[in-house]
Amino acid sequence: MKIIKTFEDFISEEALRAGENSKVVIDDIALDSGSTIKAAEILGAITASMTDEEFKQYFYDNYGEAAFGEGEIDQLVKIYNDKQAEDLEAEKEAEKEEEEGAEGGDDPLAGM
């Protein structure tokens, strides 16, 4: 029996998708200071934060500002922004579908 791995399996064993249908993949991030931020922690911070500043502050509070090398905090913020953009797009699609459903439901003769 052959075991076949999908593309997602090859990305990383520790990588997480930001949601069931999400295209955003979050992987562990190793900092220059030697610490590693787990993907689950990053996803939890994204979910709990209302703004990117609040998101950054979470990591500064837990790891210290000196723990992040050049571009490392930017990498985290990019993941946050990608997830927020994806959520906004999904919300717009849901509103559009809701409006289309409401328009079609008002006219009883629309299907004739």
Total number of domains in the chain:
1
Mean pLDDT of 67-74: 90
Please say if the pLDDT value at position 108 is more than 90: no
Tell me whether residue 2 is in a domain.
Answer: no
Tell me whether residue 81 is in a domain.
Answer: yes
Tell me whether residue 32 is in a domain.
Answer: yes
Mean pLDDT of 60-72: 90
Please say if the pLDDT value at position 9 is more than 90: no
What is the structure's pLDDT at 3? Answer: 59
**Residue 40: helix, strand or coil by DSSP?**
helix
Least confident piece of the model among 49-53, 58-62, 104-108:
104-108
Sign of CA dihedral 17, 71, 10, 34: negative
Tell me whether residue 76 is in a domain.
Answer: yes
Tell me whether residue 4 is in a domain.
Answer: no
- Across the chain, mean pLDDT equals 81
Residue 53 belongs to domain spanning? 13-104
Cβ(8)–Cβ(20) below 8 Å: no
Tell me whether residue 21 is in a domain.
Answer: yes
Between 19 and 66, the more confident residue is 66
Least confident piece of the model among 5-9, 26-30, 50-54, 103-107:
5-9
Closest to 46 in 3D by CA, of 38, 37, 54: 54
Closest to 19 in 3D by CA, of 43, 48, 51, 52: 43
Residues whose CB is less than 8 angstroms from the CB of residue 76 and which lie 6 or more positions away in sequence, other chains included: 29, 37, 42, 55, 56, 59
Tell me whether residue 109 is in a domain.
Answer: no
What is the structure's pLDDT at 4? Answer: 59
pTM for this predicted structure: 0.72
